[in-house]
Amino acid sequence: MTAHVVLIDALNLIRRIYAVQERPFLLNNELSDNTKQQVLYNTAQASTTALSNILSTLQPTHAVAVFDSEKPCWRYDIYPDYKKGRKKMPEHLSATLPDIQDQFLSVGVDSIEPEEDEADDVIATLAIKVALRNQRVSIVSTDKCFLSLLNENIEVYDYFNRRFLDNQYIEDKFSVKSSQLIDLWALTGDSTNKIPGVAGIGQITAAELINTYGSVNAILSADKLKSSIQEKLDQGKDMLQLSHQLLTLKQNIPLGFNLKDIRLN
């Protein structure tokens, strides 16, 4: 039987829904205590409805919601400023995640919360394992990192805009192929996760370099670069290598379960 596995980036889904539910009630960027419970209830209900809609639209045979570990992942070990300054999840929302997981289970979808890994790496590991068996994988997320995984068996679905983010989307938005995205972002940096890249190189320049030379390694080996570009690369080479490492999704996370454990009834 051909499997279709849906991998849900759970916090990406829940936090975006929470932001929508919270916005009408914010006063001086705060919620009153009386309002928090209502917003949390609305978020849980809307998240479960979203999950049901995803299942109805994609019609998978298997599905799982993947959460981040509560512990800092390996990226903080090699770069302590990773995600520095990003808005943290509100404590009251974090405290209600187990309840949301229970509601997800009520519609047949179990959750994974790894001990020390980010959801991104767990989803990438799962996606590659399934795709290597020539089975279909749909990753539900608006996180651009998953676009680097696109292939004939792996697709990315943006639930909020009800569309698949395909190769044409990547070409229009980034001007490179999906297989070149990590190299592109290693050059430009990733402001969302506070990964710096090479100072002074923006997306247009990075895309031109990649389309001319094919990869970061080829760019670094080139001998006819503009002097200004060469200087930036020379000064930022160490950060370029670190950024590339931070941006690359792991594909070998120990999972401890198999497909039959996430089969839908």
Question: Rounded CA gap, 194 and 132, in Å?
Answer: 32
Q: Judge whether 187 is annotated as a binding position.
A: yes
Q: Is 206 helix (H, G, I), strand (E, B) or coil?
A: helix
Eight-state DSSP code of residue 146? G
Name the residue type at position 88: K
Q: Would you say 17 is a known binding-site residue?
A: no
Binding residue per annotation — 259?
A: no
**Binding site annotation covers 58?**
no
Q: What is the DSSP letter of 221?
A: H
The strand ranges marked E within the chain are: 4-9, 62-66, 110-112, 136-140, 154-158, 163-164
Residue 8 is assigned to a ligand binding site = no
62 Cα distance to chain centroid: 20
Residue entry with tokens 């950060």: 239
Binding residues for Mg(2+): 120
Binding residues for K(+): 187, 196, 198, 201
Binding residues: 120, 187, 196, 198, 201
